Structure 1
C-alpha cells in the first residue's frame, strides 16, 4: 500500500510543484485532479488536461520524484438533470479513460450522481444506460472506473443524497455494472454506517481508497436532524452538525481501516482527500493539514 493525496486541495499550484512538495514531505503517490476548467468551483482543479496531455512529460515528472500516479479524479454528476451538462460529464469521463490508458494509470474516479427530480429507482435504471458505454471503454483500455461513496448532499435541494453510492446496498448495485469503489470512510460515519463493517465484505472491489476524517457534533444533530439545516442553509454543503477533518483529527479509527484493507488484500493507494475547514483557506494551512495526515497514516502502512 502507498500513501498519497488528491491534488485538488492545491488548485493554484502546478502539478510539477505539487509533485516536488509531495516527494519532499514523504508522500508516495498522487491522485491527480483532472476536472475541466470550471472557474472558481470548490474542491476541483485541473492538474491534468486530457486535451493537452503529454504522457512522456508526466511520466518523467513522476519518475523523477519517485511517485505513483494512482488515479485521475473527476468527481461530477453523471446523471445530471440537464441533458447538455450530463453529456459533457459523460464525455469527459471517456476522455479521462483514454488519458489514463496513455499514462498507464489504473483508475479513473467519478460519481454516479443523481437527478434530484427523479426517484432512486428511476435514477438507477437510467444509470445502467449511462454507464454501459463508460464501463465498456474502460474495459477496452484496461482501466477501472472507481466511484467514491460521497453522499453529495449539496446536490440535492433538501440535503438528501445526491450521489447514489452512499451505502453498501448501492455498492452491490454498481459492482454489477462493472464499477469499482473508491472507499472513503468519512461519509459512512455521518450516515450512521459502521465504516469497518461496511468495508470488510467488499475490499476485493476497492480499487482505490481515500483518507478523509470527520468530526460529529451530536448536540447540533438534535436540533437539525440527520439531513441537517433546513430553514436557513445559505451554503448547501453546511449541514450544521458535522465537518470533515484531516486524518487524525476526527473520529475515524484509521488503524482499523488500514488493517481491514490489508487483511482483505488491498495493495493500492490510500489517498488523503483534504477538505478540512480548520486546516484550509491558505496554502500554508493546507500543507500543514497534509503533514498532519501523513504523520497519522504513515506509521500504519508497511514500508
Structure 2
C-alpha cells in the first residue's frame, strides 16, 4: 500500500508585517519549508508582488533564488476574491486572477487557490446576493439562483482554459460562505460543469461553521481534494443555541459572535483532527496542510505556535 504523506505549509499573510525575506526566515525557523502566498485577489500580497515579478525578469529570478537558497518551495499561490462582482472592483479581481495564473506558470507552481465568487441576482443588479434559504419563495429566488450558476460556470470554464495555457494543473477552490461554492455539493456541481482540473481547497473551518462535518464531506470529495487549510473554528457555547449559526457580525468582536476562527485545537480537539487527517489520507490526499491562522482571541505568535503544535501531532506524515 502506497504511503500517503502530508506536509505542513503556512499561509504567509499572517506575517504581512514582515518583508519577503524576513517572512521566509521566520517560516523556516518554525520548521516549515512550504509557503502559500497571496498573489491576486483580496489578500495582502505583501510577499508576492505579481505585477512587479511579471514585469521584471531579474526580480523574478531573485524571488525564486530566495526560496531555493533556503530549501523552500511554494505550496500554492492564492488568489481568493470575488471576480463575479459586476463592478470595476470585480473586473480588477478578475485581472489579478489571470495575472496570478501567468505568474504561477513562470514560477513552475502547479496549483492555485481561489474562491468561486458570487454574482449579483440578475443582469442589471450590481450587488452580489448569497441565497441561503429555499428558492421556493419568494418567487424571484429561483431565476436568480439559476442565473448565478450560469455566470459562475461560464467564468470558470474560461478561467480553467487560461490556467492550462499557463501550465497550472490544479485550481483548488475554497468552499467559503458567501460564495457559490460553500459545500461539498456545490463544489461537485461546479467541477462537473467545468473541468476536472477544478477541485477543492478543503478548509474544515468553513464547513463546521455552517453545520457540516468535514470528515464525512471528505469522503464524498475523494479524487478532487487538491489542497487543505489547517484552520479551526469554534461554535460558541450558548450563543449559537439562541441565534443559530449564520453570523454577520464583524470578526473583530469575537465575544459577540456565535462562532469564531480559532487556532487549531481550540475548536475541535486533537482526536478530531487526527481522524480528519486519517480520513483525508484514506481518500488518497497526499499534499500540503497549509496553516491559516486567523484567531483574534490571542496574539499572532501564540496562535501560530498553538496551531503548529496541534498540526504536527495530528497530520498524517
CA gap 1:297/1:235 in 2 versus in 1, 3 angstroms: closer
Q: 1:107 is matched with which residue: 106, 111, 134?
A: 111
Q: Note if 1:91 corresponds to 2:124.
A: no
Q: What is the number of residues matched between the two proteins?
A: 279
8 Å CA contact retained: 2:101, 2:112:
yes
Contact kept in structure 2, 1:146 and 1:181, CA below 8 Å? yes
Alignment deviations for residues 197-244 of structure 1 (CA, whole Å, 9 cap, x no partner): 101121321111101101112411233233236xxx567997820101
Q: Classify 1:217/1:121 alpha carbon distance in 2 versus 1 (closer, same or farther; 3 Å).
A: same
CA–CA distance in structure 1, aligned partners of residues 215 and 29 of structure 2: 32
Matched, 1:223 2:239: no
* 2:304 alignment partner, one of 286, 290, 295: 290
5 Å-filtered alignment, 1:140-159, equals: 140-143=165-168, 144-151=170-177
Distance 1:101 1:237, change over 3 A: farther
**Cα distance change of structure 1 residues 270 and 136 upon mapping to structure 2, 3 Å threshold:** same
Distance verdict in 2 for CA 1:216–1:85, change over 3 Å: same
* Structure 1 unaligned blocks of 5 or more: 152-161, 280-284
| 1:153-193 Cα distance to aligned partner (Å, 9 max, x none) | xxxxxxxxx21111111011121212221110011112111
Contact 2:281 2:316 (C-alpha < 8 Å) held by counterparts: no
Q: Summarize deviations over 1:15-43 as a string: whole Å, max 9, x none.
A: 2111111111111211012246x7xxxx6
How many Å separate the matches in 2 of 1:146 and 1:234? 27
Partner Cα distance (2:316, 2:31) in 1: 14
Alpha-carbon distance in structure 2 between the residues aligned to 1:62 and 1:234: 36
1:64 equivalenced with 2:69 (yes/no) = yes
**CA distance 1:103–1:187, change in 2 (3 Å):** same
Matched, 1:170 2:175: no
Question: What is the CA distance between 1:102 and its match in structure 2?
Answer: 0.8
* Residues 1:6 and 2:17 are matched in the alignment: no
Paired position in structure 2 for 1:32: 37
Shift of 1:138: 0.9
1:264 aligned onto 2:283: yes
- Aligned partner (choices 179, 195, 206) of residue 187 of structure 1: 206
Deviation at 1:116, TM superposition (A): 4.8
Q: What SS is found at the alignment partner of 1:203?
A: coil
Work out the CA distance in 2 between the residues paired with 1:226 and 1:259: 27
Query: Residues 232-276 of structure 1: CA distance to partner in whole angstroms, max 9, x if unpaired?
Result: x56799782010111111126211121122112212110011110
- Unpaired runs of 5+ in structure 2? 1-5, 54-58, 123-143
Aligned structure 1 segments of 4 or more residues deviating by more than 4 angstroms? 233-239
> Residue 27 of structure 1 contacts residue 294 of structure 1 at CA under 8 Å; is this kept in 2?
no
Helix, strand or coil for the counterpart of 1:76? coil
Give 1:47's aligned residue. Answer: 47
Question: How many angstroms does 1:302 deviate by?
Answer: 5.2
Q: TM-score, normalised by structure 2?
A: 0.81
Match of 1:208 among 222, 227, 236: 227
Asked whether 1:241 is paired with 2:266, we answer no
Distance 1:235 1:270, change over 3 A: closer
Q: Give the match for residue 138 of structure 1.
A: 163
Inter-partner Cα distance in structure 2 for 1:188 and 1:97 = 27
Deviations 1:105-157 (A, max 9, x none): 12111111213545332211101122222100111222122111121xxxxxx
Q: TM-score scaled by structure 1? A: 0.85
Tell me the SS of whatever aligns to 2:223: helix
* Helix, strand or coil at the partner of 1:276: coil
Aligned partner of residue 70 in structure 1, secondary structure: strand
